[in-house]
Structure 1
Amino acid sequence: MAVGLLAKMPGLGISSVLILHVVGNMDRGFGAGSLVAAFWTAGAGLGAPLQGRGLDRYGLRKVFGLLVIAQSLFWGLAHFLPFPALVATAFIGGLTTLPAFTVIRLALANMVTEENRHTAYAVEAITTDVAYMAGPSFGILLATLASPTVAFLAMGTLLFAAGCAYLLLDPPLKAARPAADGPKPRLRSWLTARMVCALSITVATSIAVIGFEVAAIGTLQKSGQLQWSWLLLVVAGLASVAGGFLYGGMRRPPSVFAIGALLGVLCIPIGLASEWYWLCVFAIPANLLVAPALSASAGAVSGLAPDDSKGVAMGTYASAILVGNVVGSPLAGTVLDHGGPAASFAAFGATAALIAGLAYLCDLRLRSKGSDTPDARSEHLESSGALQ
């Protein structure tokens, strides 16, 4: 958990540091910086399932040995590159970034008993909230007080340290590795219809989370209250941490579909706030569900995946979060520009709730037919409350 937090902090602050590097060191605009960050995100989205497959087949140390070398080269050399080369290199950097989230969730699936797994995933989601509050702030602070180059190199140093720590600890992922002489897992062995439902609720959760961030910051900027954005993000993070503690303490947690749908619904009334302090107050109920939604969706995907495909399944889960980011960010921003704050919160909140509702109906139909339960795994999920 501690090493995972160390790896998540730079992972969540990379976009801010790349943008500030392009703006501060290359004298280009935020649009150009966002382009570099977008190429990094695209590479990370494509690389997550590939890295998960590598963890399944070759284990952590072989995969991380290559990734640590690749990340060291990128962060050590990329700040010397001209802008066109940086754009292309950022995609490769994202493709080879450390799969911190995937490794932690795989280790938890192997180290924690079934009855306590949702609690472990809740704690993992809480560390994500801490990293979310600390990582970007750390990068922005270094870029402001020192220089964007210092922030760039510090980010690379943190990733290198986290990668080396993973190599030393070698967390137990054996349950995610097939036997050397066994058949290679096929796509259809884990990407079942119910898995698609679980990934869909992950996308819905991500749309709500990133949509809230974009719409809230945009609302404060339009009203001339942007100086309070840091307090809003801290309130949102603390609410998510509190929600994670409450969820982790439940013996029988609610359905992941119910949590995801309610998260989307609770985002809608936030758009009614006109002052920064009301925005903070209205944001609390929705953000109480962020950590539970992330931990519940991670538990659902992990529980549905067979042991020899958990790595690629959790890598695909990370990609599903990025898909939600890609959908939610422009949706919230575009509607905010043309319809105002209330319309923006309503748009992404209703979209997240609708996706969650459709995923629930599809999963309900599959379970009633029994067409997607080839083994006892799905029955166990139903009884444990991971999906229903």
Structure 2
Amino acid sequence: MNFALYRELLAIRPIRRLLLVGMVARIPHSAAGVLLTLHIVLTLGQGYAAAGAAAAVMTIGIAVGAPWRGRRVDTVGLRRALIPSVISETVIWSVVPHVSYEVLLPLVFVGGLLTLPIFSVVRQSLGVLATGEQRRTAFALDAISTELVFMIGPAAGALVATAGFSVLGLTIVGIATSVSGLFLMWFNPPTRSAESVLGSDAESEAAYVASQQAAAGAAVVAAAPAHVQDAATEFAPLAGAEDRRRERSGLRQKVIHNFAWFTSAVAAVFAVAAGAGMVLSGTDVGIVAALETGGHQAEIGLVFLFWCAASVVGGVIYGAMHRPISPILLLLGMSALTIPMAFAQDTWTLSLLSLLPGLLCAPVLSAASEKVAELVEERRRGEAMGWYGSALTGGVALGAPLAGVFIDGIGPSTGFVAVGAGGVVLCLLGLGLQHRRRRRLAGV
């Protein structure tokens, strides 16, 4: 382990500033989850399944919008891409706390669709500013700063909501997030390296289309009977039909070209991200439900402090390591260690039991982000990070209502068992598929 890597990395001013801006920008939304959950349960009088469903609707919106926003960052630049988010955050979250549950659902979907893409932007920019071994440390630092944020945000959100000010709290979340977006636009961190910017998307797209047209013509000539000179006479009368076929083929090839980065290895990382989102969101809801059911809402922040502090320690250790660890193995450990949280009897035992899964939280996210940056070329990395974010939030969309259904139906402790067991099953399936693929390749 080389802890000097942290000192070297923080000595780089753009990286230091990016991490600071990213950390501050994440605070409002880190409080939003707990605020929204307790607003629905305490203010609107709904159950935890309803609160989980609202969280799912919001995260589905995030999952749908993330790839589009990532592509916008790649094509029009960060500042123009953030304008819709900066406007919508204040508008949506100023209205959400004043409406009924039925109206709240479509609003939080739109809010998720246009949410400020702070996570993907920061990680995409870190992928540009840091290279080689520095990149693992940079992603670990980002995960650590995120955990520090989640020590502050959820605790503050719980205090505000239990004091009866959830309406004010949700409004402040929207305004503060918009202000954070303006700071991010002002800072404008790089999302493409200088070498990548030199070859513009328009030029590469034009070259690609030209090559596809040439290949289409060559394919027709090559497929013609007899000799090439005979093919020319057949090519002319069929030009109209061939042009139509070429257009269809060109569109199909363009789609394939645009998603050429989406390999089986990238898909596996996205599956890990989805599993991590499921386990983390289910644990989040489980902690809130366990303490709220026992009348200890004011102590929610204490459990989050232990959970996130453990993640910080795990992130520091992982970032100082010389060799990466497979994200799927880290997720397997985190999922299995989440299940014992169901046996907690009070706030202190719940806090202590959260330490072990917490240790693996930041490493899972760091390892997965590092893997995406390693597997996807820079010019497509913004879109890939957007899809990575969609996978993560898709898991969140599954984990929150899954835990909520078990909590409402059986009891608070079963939320931890449901998401932990789900994560273990996902990892075992993934490892089985990896083993099968290796055996097949070895046989070839």
Name the TM-score, length of structure 1 as normaliser: 0.83
d(CA) in 2 for partners of 1:147, 1:341:
25
Q: How many correspondences in the alignment? A: 369
2:63 match = 45
Shift of the 312–18 alpha-carbon distance from structure 1 to 2, 3 Å rule, reads same
d(CA) in 1 for partners of 2:40, 2:155:
18
Verify: 1:257 aligned to 2:279, yes or no: no
Greater alpha carbon shift after TM alignment, 169-178 vs 316-325: 169-178
Give the drift of 1:117.
Answer: 1.2
Give the drift of 1:162.
Answer: 1.1
d(CA) in 1 for partners of 2:292, 2:102:
31
The amino acid across from 1:43 in the alignment is G
The amino acid across from 1:307 in the alignment is E
Verify: 1:319 aligned to 2:390, yes or no: yes
1:181 to 173, 190, 203: 203
2:268 match = 197
1:232 to 303, 308, 311: 303
Shift of the 122–273 alpha-carbon distance from structure 1 to 2, 3 Å rule, reads same
d(CA) in 2 for partners of 1:167, 1:312:
19
d(CA) in 2 for partners of 1:93, 1:343:
30
2:181 match = 163
d(CA) in 1 for partners of 2:370, 2:24:
22
1:271 match = 342
Verify: 1:101 aligned to 2:119, yes or no: yes
Give the drift of 1:108.
Answer: 0.7
CA contact (8 A) 1:267 1:286 kept: yes
Give the drift of 1:259.
Answer: 0.9
2:32 to 5, 9, 14: 14
2:241 match = none
1:111-160 CA-to-partner distances (Å, cap 9, x unmatched) read 10121211111111111112222223334445666944532342222112
2:76 match = 58
1:339-364 CA-to-partner distances (Å, cap 9, x unmatched) read 55665434322221221232234345
Shift of the 342–80 alpha-carbon distance from structure 1 to 2, 3 Å rule, reads closer
1:287 match = 358
2:153 match = 135
d(CA) in 2 for partners of 1:334, 1:83:
18
d(CA) in 1 for partners of 2:356, 2:54:
34
2:169 to 133, 148, 151: 151
d(CA) in 1 for partners of 2:165, 2:404:
29
Give the drift of 1:49.
Answer: 1.2
Give the drift of 1:231.
Answer: 1.6
1:281-335 CA-to-partner distances (Å, cap 9, x unmatched) read 2221111111111111111222222222211211111111222222222333333
d(CA) in 2 for partners of 1:91, 1:216:
24
1:329 to 391, 397, 400: 400
CA contact (8 A) 1:198 1:359 kept: no
1:348 to 412, 419, 424: 419
**Structure of greater Rg:** 2
Residue segments in structure 1 that go unaligned for 5+ positions in a row: 372-388
Shift of the 165–146 alpha-carbon distance from structure 1 to 2, 3 Å rule, reads farther
Verify: 1:308 aligned to 2:349, yes or no: no
2:135 to 110, 117, 129: 117
2:222 match = none
Give the drift of 1:59.
Answer: 1.4
Q: RMSD value over aligned CA atoms?
A: 3.1
d(CA) in 2 for partners of 1:126, 1:118:
12
SS of 1:62's partner is helix
SS of 1:189's partner is coil
Verify: 1:28 aligned to 2:44, yes or no: yes
Shift of the 282–77 alpha-carbon distance from structure 1 to 2, 3 Å rule, reads closer
Give the drift of 1:37.
Answer: 4.8
Name the TM-score, length of structure 2 as normaliser: 0.73
Shift of the 231–147 alpha-carbon distance from structure 1 to 2, 3 Å rule, reads closer
d(CA) in 2 for partners of 1:150, 1:123:
32
The amino acid across from 1:198 in the alignment is V
SS of 1:94's partner is helix
